[in-house]
Amino acid sequence: MSTAVVTPKPRRKQVPKDKVLCEYCPAKCCRYFALPFDAPEEFADYEFIRWFLLHERATVFKEGDDWYVLVHTQCRHLQADNRCGIYETRPQICRDYSTKDCEYEDDWTYDFYLERPEQVTEYIEAVIQEPGRSIRSAKPPLLPILS
């Protein structure tokens, strides 16, 4: 039985000057896209967020005051070696992307991150619940005590 030797990726500062950072990266930037949307202000806006999260591989996060829907999906041109299969003809957004501030280090977290529609419900009830309006069903009456 052979065991594969896993070499940890070097820290950004340890990448040799004659190498490209992407040679050591798992290509996180090619495995999702995030689109900004207007910050929710009313109950109906949160219903849209809940709808986003009803779809597989979708999450919502905030960076500062900016809200994003994040879709976890891989670029169809990402090759097995984590390199771009259409590098010379890649879209402008990819050309503009820089490794200067990329997610190579993996040492960041979101301050606000939603993965499930139930989390939207909990957030509404805890933070912005409108009087007289609930996203949940009415509480059923208690059952009688049997003697």
69 by DSSP, 3-state: which? Answer: strand
pLDDT of 25-44, one tens digit each?
889 999 999 999 999 998 89
Q: Which residues of the chain have pLDDT under 50?
A: none
CA-based nearest residue to 35, from 8, 5, 73: 73
**How many domains is the chain built from?**
1
Domain extent at residue 30:
16-128
pLDDT at 127: 81
Domain presence at residue 75: yes
Domain assignment present for residue 11? The answer is no
At 134 the pLDDT is 62
d(CA 2, CA 112): 43
pTM: 0.74
Residue 112 is predicted with a pLDDT of 94
- Between vectors from CA 146 to CA 145 and to CA 147, what angle results, nearest 5°? 120
